[in-house]
Amino acid sequence: MDVKESLSGLVGDWTGTNRLRMMPGDAYGESAASATVSFGAKGSLATIAYTWAYQGGPHEGLLVIGNGGKPDELVAVWADSWHQGPQWMECRGAIGADGVLNVRGSYAEDAGWRIRVDPNDPAHLRLAMDNIMPGADYQVVEAIYSRPE
C-alpha cells in the first residue's frame, strides 16, 4: 500500500478536537481543531494541514508525506508553529500492517517525535504525536476529526 491508497478516502476538510499534554502524568487540555488532507505533485505527496490552540493562542502545522524507496516505506517533513517551529523535521517510517502511517524524526541525538495517522475509519481522521526521550515514550497529542456538518 502507498500513501495515495492509504489516505485517498480522507481527502477534504475536517473539524474536531485536539488534546495536548506536556508530561505523561498531566491531564490533557482540549481545543477546537481543523485539518485539511490533500494531494500534490500529481498525487505522489499527501499533505495534512491542521490548526489547533494552546492557552488561547492559535497554532498550525503541516505534515507532508510521500512514499519511500521500498514498499510501505514513508518519508515526511513536519512543521508545527508550537511543537517544532520554525524548523521542519525530516521523518521516516512505514505503513503498518494495520494501515496506520507511522513516521519518526529527531530533534536531538536521543529525542524525537513519532507521528501516527490512522486512516482506517473513513468517518474520522485520527492524528497522534508521541514524544520519544530516554526512558519516556508517551503520547503528547491526540487529534480526532470528523467531516464538518
16-28 residue pLDDT tens: 999 999 998 999 9
Q: Does 125 score more than 80 pLDDT?
A: yes
pLDDT at 96: 95
CB 14 within 8 A of CB 133: no
Question: Does the reported pTM lie above 0.85?
Answer: yes
User: How far, in whole angstroms, is CA 64 from its chain's centroid?
Assistant: 9
Half-sphere exposure of 41 (CA within 13 A, CB side): 10
Domains of the chain with bracketed CATH: 3-146 (2.40.128.20)
* Confidence band for 136, pLDDT divided at 50, 70 and 90: confident
How does strand 89-95 pair with strand 101-108?
antiparallel
pLDDT in tens, 58-111: 999 999 999 999 988 999 999 999 877 678 999 999 999 999 999 999 998 899
Q: What percent of the chain has pLDDT over 90?
A: 82
| Of 146, 121, 116, residue with least CA distance to 35 | 146
pLDDT at 149: 81
DSSP assignment, residue 5? H
Cα angle, residue 144 at apex, residues 48 and 123 outer, rounded to 5° = 85
Decide: helix, strand or coil at residue 6.
Answer: helix
CB 144 within 8 A of CB 126: yes
pLDDT at 83: 74
Spell out the alpha helix ranges (H) of the chain: 3-7
Which residue matches cell numbers 481527502? 11
